[in-house]
Structure 1
Amino acid sequence: MLDIVETKAARRPAKVAVLLRSLVLVSALALGACASDKDDLALDDTPAEVLFNEGLALRNAGRLSDAGKKFSELDKLYPYSEYARKSLINLAFINFSLGRYPEAIAASERFTTLYPGSEDSAYALYIIGQSYFRQIPDVTRDQEQTEKALSALNELIRRYPDSEYTADAKSKVLVAYDQLAGKEMQVGRYYLDRRNYIAAINRFKMVVINYQTTRHVEEALFRLTESYYALGVVNEAQTAAAVLGHNYPDSRWYKDAFALLKKGGYEPSENRGSWISRAFNSVKIL
């Protein structure tokens, strides 16, 4: 019995030591938490101007990811402030520069929503258009990104015709139109190869009506000549060839259209009541 009592007594210092170590650990954690809270409070107390200038310094030093974090922090701590507005447009620029196009679009769209009257709204629209433009896929794929690029760039041109970004936006609009026309031609040729002439005509018609400023319109007129001729609608085939020859007399597509009609004993002849003739009479150059 004495041995048992002595053993228990011997264990008491060990238990006390464990308890003391636990208390020390809890105290350390509490102090760490207090220090962390203090750091957070210190960050919260950092003036917006200081955070913004730190972000600018990081951006100018090429540390774009770090700058983006700084601007994001400022936006959270001082929402709707003047520095939050400046930080948001910087975030759009940084994300675009880093190839983070969805993030660049989101920041720019938020900017145009919150600050529609800002002098930087034109730049925000430009970033949106540029971000979609950079994501334009191969002509064989879906062209949703191309259409979104066109929408943003055309809005920039419409709302800010004198902006420093408008000239570049116009040049990119022409490229986007050419891309969409190329898609229509690709689908039209697919139908033409399968002798689905009506479906093919509808695609080539889209090019002639909507994309006359593109390089695809010459081939579209020839394909219309070819499709209408195959259907036996000779007057429309003659009109397509005549409009092609009038507007692009040196085109190889006109030579092919002329040869096709000549083979059947016909020649180009414009019917001014045709939709093809009316389409070219109403052409608008961007």
Structure 2
Amino acid sequence: MNTRVFSKSILISAALVLSACSSSPEEEDLALVNQGPQALYDRAKENLTNGNFNGAAATLSALDSRYPFGPLSHQVQLDLIYSYYKTSNTDQALATIDRFLRLNPNHSDVDYVQYMRGLVNMDADTNLFQDLMGIDRSDRDPSMAREAFNDFRQLLEKYPDSKYAADAQKRMMYIKDRLAKYELAIARYYMKRQAYVAAANRGQYVLEYFPDSPHLQEALELMVECYDQLNLQELKDNTLKTLKLNFPNSSHADS
């Protein structure tokens, strides 16, 4: 009889343990919310530390909605911006960034938020699959790259002493290269269709706006070809002078 009672007590204990372990994620989330903002934030920080950015974004978003004016609100938004960036959630990241900049123009971390805006737009411009496969798609829409360039430019203009300024400058050089390649890709497209005026204008655009680009020689050579096709001798001669002066080894220099 004692053995039976003992066995029943073990079964009951095991059932209670299993019942406690089988609580649903929704119940756990509800319990966490009921503990207050600090418990939610601690969970979000744990997710960030572990690289669970989707989980962090979900928790931070809930915290931001439930306690929009609490003592943690600014840090929650900063962490939320980073989480959205790491999960490539461009729309939500930009919306959170713009709201922060609008409501907190004098915050000590506003330079970081402006810098993150550039990173988010720059990330939106990339195509990871094409980069991994070595596919050059210079002709893809550069609108997000231009947005990123303007974001970094504003950072340098408003906060020249920011610790993010040096990295922003490097990224601007990369974006310049990207935009110059785009202009030349479109120029080559026009040349194939014998739209030489449009092609020459694209080359001229590179000269005017990206004079420190490594694609300056290609732009000048393209313009020489276009002016030659259009029988615009004076423009061709002037462009050749610039080409010979800066790139004497160019195959077009003897034209």
Using structure 2 for the length normalisation, give the TM-score: 0.77
Equivalent of 1:74 in 63, 76, 97: 63
Matched residues in 2 for 1:209 and 1:91: separation? Answer: 39
Alignment of 1:1-286 (within 5 A): 46-137=35-126, 138-250=137-249, 252=250, 256-260=251-255
The Cα offsets for residues 109-168 of structure 1, whole Å up to 9 and x where unpaired, read as 222222121122222222221122122253122211111111212112222211121111
The Cα offsets for residues 238-264 of structure 1, whole Å up to 9 and x where unpaired, read as 1111111212234x3xxx22222xxxx
When residues 57 and 189 of structure 1 are mapped into structure 2, their CA distance, relative to the original with a 3 A threshold, is closer
Matched residues in 2 for 1:257 and 1:95: separation? Answer: 49
Percent identical: 27
Q: CA deviation at 1:225?
A: 1.6
Unaligned stretches of 5+ residues in structure 2: 1-25, 127-136
Letter in 1 for 2:41: F
Letter in 2 for 1:179: R
| Secondary structure in structure 1 of the residue aligned to 2:51 | coil
When residues 239 and 122 of structure 1 are mapped into structure 2, their CA distance, relative to the original with a 3 A threshold, is same
| Secondary structure in structure 2 of the residue aligned to 1:85 | helix
Matched residues in 2 for 1:190 and 1:213: separation? Answer: 23
Any conservation in 2 of the 1:78–1:84 contact (CA below 8 Å)?
Answer: yes
Q: CA deviation at 1:214?
A: 0.9
Unaligned stretches of 5+ residues in structure 1: 1-35, 261-286
Q: Which runs of 4+ in 1 moved over 6 A?
A: none
Any conservation in 1 of the 2:32–2:39 contact (CA below 8 Å)?
Answer: no
| CA RMSD after TM alignment | 2.4
The Cα offsets for residues 76-113 of structure 1, whole Å up to 9 and x where unpaired, read as 22213331111011011112122323322222222222
When residues 179 and 74 of structure 1 are mapped into structure 2, their CA distance, relative to the original with a 3 A threshold, is same
Matched residues in 1 for 2:57 and 2:95: separation? Answer: 14
Q: CA deviation at 1:44?
A: 6.2
Any conservation in 1 of the 2:190–2:199 contact (CA below 8 Å)?
Answer: yes
Q: CA deviation at 1:56?
A: 2.0
Letter in 2 for 1:89: L
Any conservation in 1 of the 2:33–2:39 contact (CA below 8 Å)?
Answer: no
| Secondary structure in structure 1 of the residue aligned to 2:161 | coil
Q: CA deviation at 1:45?
A: 5.7
| Secondary structure in structure 2 of the residue aligned to 1:140 | coil
When residues 226 and 187 of structure 1 are mapped into structure 2, their CA distance, relative to the original with a 3 A threshold, is same
Using structure 1 for the length normalisation, give the TM-score: 0.69
Any conservation in 2 of the 1:187–1:200 contact (CA below 8 Å)?
Answer: yes
When residues 43 and 190 of structure 1 are mapped into structure 2, their CA distance, relative to the original with a 3 A threshold, is closer
Matched residues in 2 for 1:186 and 1:64: separation? Answer: 37
Matched residues in 2 for 1:177 and 1:224: separation? Answer: 19
Q: CA deviation at 1:65?
A: 2.8
Matched residues in 2 for 1:210 and 1:61: separation? Answer: 43
Matched residues in 2 for 1:143 and 1:158: separation? Answer: 23
Letter in 2 for 1:85: H
Any conservation in 2 of the 1:44–1:77 contact (CA below 8 Å)?
Answer: no
| Secondary structure in structure 1 of the residue aligned to 2:80 | helix
Matched residues in 2 for 1:178 and 1:258: separation? Answer: 24
Q: How many corresponding residue pairs?
A: 219
Letter in 2 for 1:124: V
| Structure 1 counterpart of 2:13 | none
| Secondary structure in structure 2 of the residue aligned to 1:259 | coil
